[in-house]
């Protein structure tokens, strides 16, 4: 199975220090939805693994989160793409479980449900917690400079981690390989 896992905020959609709390605040990173469509059309299954502490912080409820995810999935479908599943960790960072990145729980849960190992599976993120979760789960960490990625790149040692400007550049390179 050809599989890729994506973080959401900063990779698929623009990120905000104030959190993405509603459909009206959700804006795709330029080229990201087209990149997901290209992956889908090339036979890749696309999953999302995202921390969503806005729920645990009381800034939004599950209905708002699901409405955002529905909008994201519809945007992909409009271009012939598909997100096959979304894993999310809604808890507040002060009450983090193994599911919240940088812990590998979301990725391990996905691997269990799909009955596969994550060795060689790219996990594309924009933060050090994404890189650490990928490494802890056996997935291949990929950093994009969109979202918080530029800051992550300058503030952390990323030896062995491939870095791309954004999801569109990663997908173009990945599909050409």
User: Mind telling me the catalytic residues?
Assistant: 7, 9
Q: Which residues of 73-89 are buried (b: 16+ CB within 10 A; e: fewer)?
A: bebbeeeebbbeebbbb
> For the chain, where are the E strands, in sequence order?
3-6, 45-51, 85-89, 122-125, 140-144, 162-164
Of 145, 141, 144, 119, nearest in space to 130 by CA: 141
């Amino acid at each position: 199975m050809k599989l890729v896992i994506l973080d959401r905020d900063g990779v698929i959609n623009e990120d905000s220090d104030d959190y993405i709390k509603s459909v009206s605040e959700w804006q795709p990173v330029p080229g990201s939805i087209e990149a997901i469509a290209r992956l889908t059309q090339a036979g890749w299954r696309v999953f999302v693994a995202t921390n969503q502490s806005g729920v645990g912080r009381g800034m939004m409820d599950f209905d708002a989160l699901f409405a955002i995810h529905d909008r994201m999935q519809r945007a992909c479908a409009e271009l012939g793409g598909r997100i096959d599943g979304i894993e999310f960790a809604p808890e507040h960072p002060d009450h983090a479980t193994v599911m919240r990145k940088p812990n590998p729980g979301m990725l391990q849960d996905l691997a269990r449900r799909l009955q596969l190992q994550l060795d060689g599976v790219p996990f594309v993120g924009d933060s050090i917690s994404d890189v650490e979760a990928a490494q802890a789960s056996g997935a291949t960490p990929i950093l994009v400079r969109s979202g918080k990625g530029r800051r992550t790149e300058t503030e952390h040692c990323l030896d062995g981690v491939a870095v791309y400007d954004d999801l569109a550049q990663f997908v173009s390179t990945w599909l050409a390989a």
